[in-house]
Amino acid sequence: MKNFLLLLLCVPVLGRAQNNPDQEEWRQLFNGKDLDGWDVKITGYNLNDNFANTFRVEDGVMKVAYDGYDEFGGRFGHIFYREIFSYYRLRIEYRFTGTQVPGGADWAIRNSGAMLHGQTAASMGKDQDFPISIEGQLLGGTGEGERPTANLCTPGTNVVMNGELVTTHCINSSSKTYDGDQWVSVEFQVFGDSLIRHIVEGETVLEYEKPQTGGGNVQNFGPSVKHDGELLSEGTISLQSESHPVEFRKVELLQLCGCKDPKAKNYKSYYVKGNPADCKY
């Protein structure tokens, strides 16, 4: 009987989850099975009208495909994760495949992007081409010359670099060129309205500060969603369809905002911004 009581007393201890404050808890935004949690917005179509099954999941991979298109026809598309994020690390593995659909622009060959701090899919106009956002531009090499990836583009936004406001639409990173259909790992480290850093295969290739609304390079948006000069501290994450087939096999996120009290059960040492409301004791 005494041994039996000891066993009962041990069961709750063994079953209790222990928090490791240093262990990173990555969240899979793409579950590898379907598009659950995502919204689709394609230029000229209503929200979640996924024209020609542009965005799909096959063999555990999220694909942007154009086999249902006769021509591109300016149908720029984005698939939005439904939640809003502020401080985080976003890690994506992507590759370009096949050939560009007829009618796509020359600059859009082997071209996609991860849109950060973006407006919501529901707030986009029916004929709007890009969400107001900060774009981590993803490019594949064409076999001719250098073509870096994880560049910066700014649809309806500006940033600050070296203490000065930058209004140039696209700025190249220092990454190498990735030719062919190889998988590439890119990470975006986003710290609210302060710093954003682009990393390719573990190497920092670009960073800038103070993302904010401003500038052009976005069409047919509602005036209520764009207030020039307003700092962007949070927003949606979306992935692009710009006329060239692309695949994503990993889209995962690590929150950098949460409980920073070491006395709490869910404290994490790597959080950058504290949110006392998240703490559990």
Q: What span, in angstroms and rounded, lies between the C-alpha atoms of 170 and 229?
A: 18
Give residues with Cβ within 8 angstroms of 71, minimum separation 6. Answer: 101, 102, 103
**202 closest CA partner among 190, 191, 189, 186:** 186
Tokens of 207: 């960073």
β-bridge pairing 273-274 and 257-258: parallel
Does position 166 have pLDDT exceeding 90, yes or no? yes
Does position 15 have pLDDT exceeding 90, yes or no? no
Q: Which pLDDT does position 264 carry in this prediction?
A: 96
Q: Which pLDDT does position 18 carry in this prediction?
A: 80
Q: Which pLDDT does position 8 carry in this prediction?
A: 37
CATH number of 22-278: 2.60.120.560
The pLDDT of 6-31, averaged and rounded, is 70
The pLDDT of 3-8, averaged and rounded, is 40
pTM, two decimals, is 0.92
| Residue type present at position 94 | Y
Whats the size of the chain, residue-wise?
Answer: 281
Tokens of 147: 């073509």
pLDDT tens for 132-165 read: 999 999 999 999 999 999 999 999 999 999 999 9
How far is residue 242 from each of residues 140, 193, 213, measured CA to CA in Å? Answer: 13, 27, 22
Q: Which pLDDT does position 17 carry in this prediction?
A: 60
